[in-house]
Amino acid sequence: MKWDGRSISLIDQRKLPQVEEYVKCESSDCVALAIKDMVVRGAPAIGATAAFGYVIGAIENKDDLCVEKMNKIKEKLAKTRPTAVNLFWALERMHSKFLSLKGDPDYVIRSLNDEAERIANEDIAVNKKMGEYGQSLLPSNATVITHCNAGALATVDYGTAIGMIHAALDHGKVISAYVDETRPYLQGSRLTAWELMKLGVKTTLICDNMAGWVMKTKKVDAVIVGADRIASNGDVANKIGTYSLALLAKRHNVKFYVVAPISTIDLNIKSGSEIPIEERSHDEVTSIKGIRIAPDGVGVYNPAFDVTDASLVDAIVTERGVIFPPYDGKIEKVVRGG
């Protein structure tokens, strides 16, 4: 993402890897649509984008910069994606900052701009810390399976799960990756494979339903995924298919690691059963790149996320260190800085 103080330019992830094209948003409506339509995706990236969208909303309402107007901006942006908690975390942080400010509109907007830039810069620093902690879990010659995209494209920069691989490479480790294609939106084949190849990782693309056989017949050290929301008990909401991978990993004695910032942990959620699961357009399943692959009139169920039980997670990597099970009590202690 590129921010110039008045507009944000977002690489259109729907068109990668064939076309590298940017969408320039100069209105809060445009930012909301970009999040909703997955021009930008990935929990940390969504949060940072929403923060800059809030600043744009303030600029739009400069002549009448009141609480009522900014409440509406916050609500509009919050409605875009229901599962990724970073969205709500970033908007709450921006709105709290706004409510604390006094002075002329130019000062308020400058202060909000500074806060949004802090959120973005903090994300990069957090990702690098998580990468450093996470890489210690991998052997010097490791083979991993990835799911969805948790790299630089899903964050402001560097990545969460892919950041762990990035850091391992920086430490001289040799990493090979089997990349789940991640149906129906193909974030793995379109985005993660592209990013890993740019990093110089030996990358092998597999269909989602091949992961179990790969674990059984190949030497796989770990499954590494990101997260969109983590409950206080350690249940993890992530891209659909994550739960299946976790079950397969448990069956084949493969480590299952979740890499996510503290902002992804929702202490208000006691377990995964309370996490709202977004269901997306049926067209994502019945068509690929506008080409229909299913019969007209077929029923479709398209949840964008699933929830992996904490009992299937071998470690949660955060910027404050690695949390190992049992998670009850430990997660809250880490979040609160204990």
Active-site positions? Answer: 228
- Select from 232, 186, 227 the least CA-distant residue to 206: 186
C-beta of residue 147 within 8 angstroms of C-beta of residue 213? no
- CA of 218: how far to CAs of 46, 145, 163, 214, in Å? 35, 11, 24, 5
Contacts of 24 (CB under 8 A, 6+ apart): 7, 8, 9
Give the separation between CA 315 and CA 325, rounded to whole angstroms. Answer: 7
Host H or E run for residue 105: helix 105-135
Give the separation between CA 177 and CA 225, rounded to whole angstroms. Answer: 12
3-state SS class at 144: strand
Bridge partners (DSSP) of residue 79 are: none
Q: What 8-state DSSP symbol labels residue 226?
A: -
Host H or E run for residue 258: strand 255-259
Q: Residue 75 corresponds to which tokens in the numbers above? A: 């609500």
Q: Which long-range contacts (CB under 8 A, 24 or more apart) does 17-25 make?
A: 17/190, 17/191, 17/193, 17/194, 25/53, 25/56
